[in-house]
Structure 1
Amino acid sequence: MVISSSTSSISKPKTALIIIILIIISTATTSFADNTAITTTCTSIHQQNSSISTCNYVKSTTGCNPKGYINYLQLYYCNFSSFPQLGFVLLLIWLVILFYILSNTASEYFCPAVEHLSNSLNLSPAIAGTTLLPLGNGSTDVFSSIIAFTSSADGGDIGLNSVLGGSIFVSTVVVGVLSLLITYRRKIVVIDKPNFIRDVVFLLVTLTNLLVIIIIGEISLCASVLFISTYIIYIFLVCYMHFISKKKHNSIHDSVIEDEDDYAVRIPLLRSIDDEEKVVHSAEKVVHYEEEDVQYNKKRGKMKFVCYVMKLPVYLPRRLTIPVITKERWSKGFLVISVVLAPIMVAVIWNTKEGNLGLKASLVTYFVVASIGVALGTCTYAFTSSTIPPQKWLVFWYASGFLMSVTWTYVTCNELVSLLESLGNIIGMNPSIIGLTILAWGNSIGDLAANMALAMYGGPDGTQIAMSGCYAGPLFNVLFGLGFSLVFVSWSKYPATYVIPEDPNLCETIGFLMAGLLWALVILTKREMRLDHTLGGGLLAIYFCFLFIKLSRAIGLLG
């Protein structure tokens, strides 16, 4: 299967701009998980003498507070103190459920939303991979980086490490796993060469600029503005390449249509008769197979019902809050309810995570949001059909589904990270190792699940979108996340310069990240842009070398 990038032109630029703004606003209301090393820990949790003292320690220590919505340490050490084995097993079961919710949300909601939204906006796979996917996967990282830079004295070091750590995971592990998975499925996927080289070169240039800033040790307001302006140049280049490739595509398409017309005239009559006989024969086989399928489905009926009941608690909350207007899953009732509940869910998430609005402000917020939801639900009920999905305002519906699937993805990711951190504390892992492994992996699970689902289930252009997102996402995080953070902190120091926190490991992280990019650039260009095991294996080897050095330094094997 050969993936080509450009399909059609970008229309409705104002609508696209509105969608981008809505994406940023929506993802800002999701939970801002701290994608960084642990600043306050539960290191003394295993030094308590009794189960009662351990429970009191968990309740009173700030470092034991959950990053998500459930206090897993309190459940384990207080509620299941008499049955710790049972508590640990239940946490593992919940871990599996969270992984399922994450992967299923990506495949069933996020991927179709990206595909339909990009089609409605007439975005090519390359444009969708460099806009929608980075915004969906990376917006929370951007906000986390800005908050880290502006909230504490050592926030600059935390923000730099969080963005760079996530970037190296996405550009090595995610791309490596995608390549190995495609090779295992014996698929031949060819990535668009100009778009790939553009993304990798821009990311290399950006990392080089960042490396220079770190070596200098300070940055001014003017330099920070120049740093972030690189992303504007990148977007202009993406649009220019899209229009050029679209023009070539249209000329090729016109010539193909002329050839097809000539060929249709030359088709002999006898061939069409033979084709009809083959169709009749195939129809007889289909009827025979359908009779066998009916008998087989009867035997599986009970098993399907049991699976449906088990999945209902996981399926129903997402179905009631994520608008879906595809023909295969169309339901007017679900759409009306989801339009009503979606704004309320976002408000609950925001108020729960922030928690400082006060009772009156919270009530006013809920009343306003609920009123908006009811008004939208009323309009949806009045102007939609019970038999067919909406045919107008498709961008609004697809954007709503995209935003809510992003919200669910990151809510699940935050809860997953919180659970993984709690399991690490229960096992007794070193906090620095938890930050390097469990938290780093947990914070990037959303990117891995979304990109893998797009590559496997996103249609013929899914792999191109996923691969573009694997490089456009880190570029978005570095230029937007670090860029805006540097602008904010340098603005606050103006006319003085902002001093970059000293961390010799930052240069090491950037070096490994650039090594992964160069490996992908060399291997793909030599192998005619085909994803294979050489690319995937090399990228995973680079990441494991990086991880080995980090872990060795954390446990004292390296200085």
Structure 2
Amino acid sequence: MAAPASPTSPFLPKKLLLFLNISFLCLLSFFLLSYDFLGQSSIDRTIIGGHSLILQESNSHDCAGLHDYSGYKAKCLYVRSEIGCRPKGYINYLEIFYCNFGQFPVLGYIVLLLWLLVLFYVLGDTAANYFCTSLESLSKILKLSPAIAGVTLLSLGNGASDVFASIVSFTRSNNGGVGLNSVLGGAFFISSVVVGVISILISPHQISVDKPCFIRDVLFFLFSLSSLLLIIFIGEITLWGALSFVSIYFLYVSVVSASYLFNRKRERKLNLSVSNTLSVLGQDAMGEMMSVPLLGCVDDVKPVLMEKNSTEENQERGTKLFNLDSSTLYYLGKLLELPLYLPRRLTIPVVSEERWSKAYAVVSVTLAPLFFAEICNSQREKTMQSESSLVTFMIAGFVGMVLGNLAFVTTKKSSPPKKCLLPWLVGGFLMSVSWTYVTAEELVSLLVSIGNILGISPSVLGLTVLAWGNSLGDLIGNAAIAMNGGADGTQMAISGCYAGPMFNTLVGLGVSLVCSSWLEYPSPFVIPKDHSLYETLGFLMAGLLWALVILPRKNMRLEKCLGGGLLTIYLCFLFLRLARALGLLEIYHGSLFTGIFL
């Protein structure tokens, strides 16, 4: 049987991964031990100032009155009694902070910060190691062209966290401002900071990007943002309007596909012309052309390869000796890496060659229906206030047993299945979506709670913390591709910096608007009022226009002028928003962008 893949994430240092797993264990134990304190039946009365205050429920749908009370006991009572303070996820962070850590707020902040890091890791790692692999395999099975796969499945894989955070904020947390700001904040960060950093790093190499592709992507992005700006200005959207907004992305995919087919046809004609020329020249000319080594003299390469192999063998011997001397610590480390790895591995089917394990495969298809049933029941409890259905678990358990037996009979220990891969990939895709959705739901709930604790609008946290957390992977990954991939890698990185945010804007926000307008049908869905969105869109479009003007003037070469301008635009915007959030700028409706549209 092939050895299962190591649970160590390739994106994080091993020490940091161990720290996150240990933190997860400690925090999970604390949440379970504190479960009795989170129930309304545990404390029905709280003595404050010598008076007994009975918990009463109000009709408010937010937690805005939290800071009208002084003292942690009064705030604890308030978050217990106020409907708007109830958690949008699975954990009541406000009760934990004020009722459990009321006397020790610093410790409460540390707990919430650690849990925030754990959720960011689970969200990113699930998207990278499960969601993206399923999408990649599905693109091969469906035989999608690279162009279509790049603007659909690849963009979905890269923007999964933004998309699901947006959908959750609109449909579950009743706080669409978080979704709007997180998607637009991420788009602004990627198209300004990431493109700016890549331009500065690449400037010494004098690399140019493809002009038609760049202009096409930027113009489509500007058109998408203009459409979103019109929707926000109107203040409401119907179901057909939301579907029309999403359809812009399908128009973009059609244009990209048409460009790909046209270029492919032109390349075929060019190759045919070259073949005809070579046939005219004869075999002698072809032999001379093929005899030139691509990497230089072969004899010069052999000593280098021998020296490299010798070095690798010595390193491998040293590694084996080290593992023999520290085998106890090694296995201990593997055990400590399991808490965040094992739950997903046991519920998400994986059929890749390097990560195949029959035991994991059988268990995952058995437990996946039960995990999915638990998600459905919990969502029904939150939305419809109904009890969990035992019938749902019984049906899920029966389906899981049938699928587990089929997987045990039809799979081999040595290799993953070669036939009927589509059901496996669809199952892996659905379960990775389920994990991503649940994690995004909890992350949005935590950010809303932190906003209530700090007295900061959750929209500001979505614009900064959530946007940065979801976009750091794009910064690291795209910069690495550009630095190590030469001209092709730079082209790929720059294209991703515009295609990805456009996907998040049109599909992430578009699907959110479709779901929300569907729930309100036939009435239109009212867009959350947030005048700062005009500023975000204005600065974002200013960055795109800056790149659209500067790059053609520089012959499409990535230079420091482009990068410095983009970084300056983002820093100016960030200073304005943070200064207003901290009360340094008391500007409400008098800003430039809101003044234009109001």
TM class, shorter-length:
0.7 to 0.9
Question: Is 1:290 matched up with 2:351?
Answer: no
In 2, Cα distance between equivalents of 1:482 and 1:338: 33
1:68 and 1:414 in contact (8 A); partners too: yes
Question: Is 1:468 matched up with 2:489?
Answer: no
1:102 and 1:449 in contact (8 A); partners too: no
Listed one character per residue, the Cα deviations across residues 392-415 of structure 1 (whole Å, up to 9, x for unaligned) are 334443443344334333433332
1:170 and 1:444 in contact (8 A); partners too: yes
1:518: how far off?
1.8
In 2, Cα distance between equivalents of 1:269 and 1:549: 59
Which amino acid in 1 is paired with 2:124? Answer: S
Which residue does 1:55 correspond to in 2?
76
Which amino acid in 1 is paired with 2:568? Answer: A
In 2, Cα distance between equivalents of 1:144 and 1:92: 21
Which residue does 1:173 correspond to in 2?
189
In 2, Cα distance between equivalents of 1:145 and 1:93: 22
Alignment: residue pair count: 505
Q: Which moved more, 1:194-203 or 1:275-284?
A: 275-284
Structure 1's 530 and 106: CA in aligned 2 closer, same or farther, altered over 3 A? farther
> Secondary structure at the residue paired with 1:391?
coil
Structure 1's 227 and 254: CA in aligned 2 closer, same or farther, altered over 3 A? same
Which residue does 2:264 correspond to in 1?
246
Which residue does 1:64 correspond to in 2?
85
In 2, Cα distance between equivalents of 1:246 and 1:377: 45
Structure 1's 198 and 281: CA in aligned 2 closer, same or farther, altered over 3 A? closer
Which amino acid in 1 is paired with 2:419? Answer: K
Listed one character per residue, the Cα deviations across residues 121-147 of structure 1 (whole Å, up to 9, x for unaligned) are 333454234322555526536645864
Equivalent positions of 1:477-492 (< 5 A) are: 477-482=508-513, 492=522
Question: Is 1:392 matched up with 2:419?
Answer: yes
Equivalent positions of 1:224-239 (< 5 A) are: 229-239=247-257
Equivalent positions of 1:314-325 (< 5 A) are: 314-325=340-351
Equivalent positions of 1:433-512 (< 5 A) are: 435-444=458-467, 447-448=470-471, 451-452=474-475, 455=478, 463=493, 464-465=495-496, 467-482=498-513, 492-493=522-523, 505-512=532-539
Which amino acid in 1 is paired with 2:365? Answer: V
Q: Which moved more, 1:387-396 or 1:206-215?
A: 206-215
Question: Is 1:140 matched up with 2:201?
Answer: no
Listed one character per residue, the Cα deviations across residues 496-546 of structure 1 (whole Å, up to 9, x for unaligned) are x98878765554443223223223333444556566665555444334433
1:351 and 1:357 in contact (8 A); partners too: no
Which residue does 1:307 correspond to in 2?
333
Equivalent positions of 1:235-274 (< 5 A) are: 235-250=253-268
- Structure scoring higher RCO (CA < 8 A, sep ≥ 6) equals 1
> Which of residues 412, 417, 421 in structure 1 aligns to 2:444?
417
2:237 and 2:527 in contact (8 A); partners too: yes
Which residue does 2:24 correspond to in 1?
none
TM-score (norm. length: structure 1):
0.73
Structure 1's 338 and 278: CA in aligned 2 closer, same or farther, altered over 3 A? same
Which residue does 1:44 correspond to in 2?
66
In 2, Cα distance between equivalents of 1:504 and 1:74: 31
In 2, Cα distance between equivalents of 1:212 and 1:119: 38
**Structure 2: 5+ residue runs without aligned partners?**
1-59, 589-598
In 2, Cα distance between equivalents of 1:344 and 1:222: 36
Which residue does 1:350 correspond to in 2?
376
Q: Which moved more, 1:71-80 or 1:220-229?
A: 220-229
Structure 1's 135 and 328: CA in aligned 2 closer, same or farther, altered over 3 A? closer
Q: CA RMSD for the aligned pairs?
A: 4.5
1:200 and 1:521 in contact (8 A); partners too: yes
Listed one character per residue, the Cα deviations across residues 274-295 of structure 1 (whole Å, up to 9, x for unaligned) are 8479547734652453133322
Larger Rg: 2
> Secondary structure at the residue paired with 2:522?
helix
1:387: how far off?
0.7
In 1, Cα distance between equivalents of 2:258 and 2:293: 49
In 2, Cα distance between equivalents of 1:514 and 1:368: 51
Q: Which moved more, 1:376-385 or 1:261-270?
A: 261-270
Structure 1's 367 and 299: CA in aligned 2 closer, same or farther, altered over 3 A? same
Which amino acid in 1 is paired with 2:62? Answer: T
Structure 1's 250 and 351: CA in aligned 2 closer, same or farther, altered over 3 A? farther
TM-score (norm. length: structure 2):
0.69
Which amino acid in 2 is paired with 1:339? Answer: V
How high is the sequence identity, in percent, across the aligned residues?
38
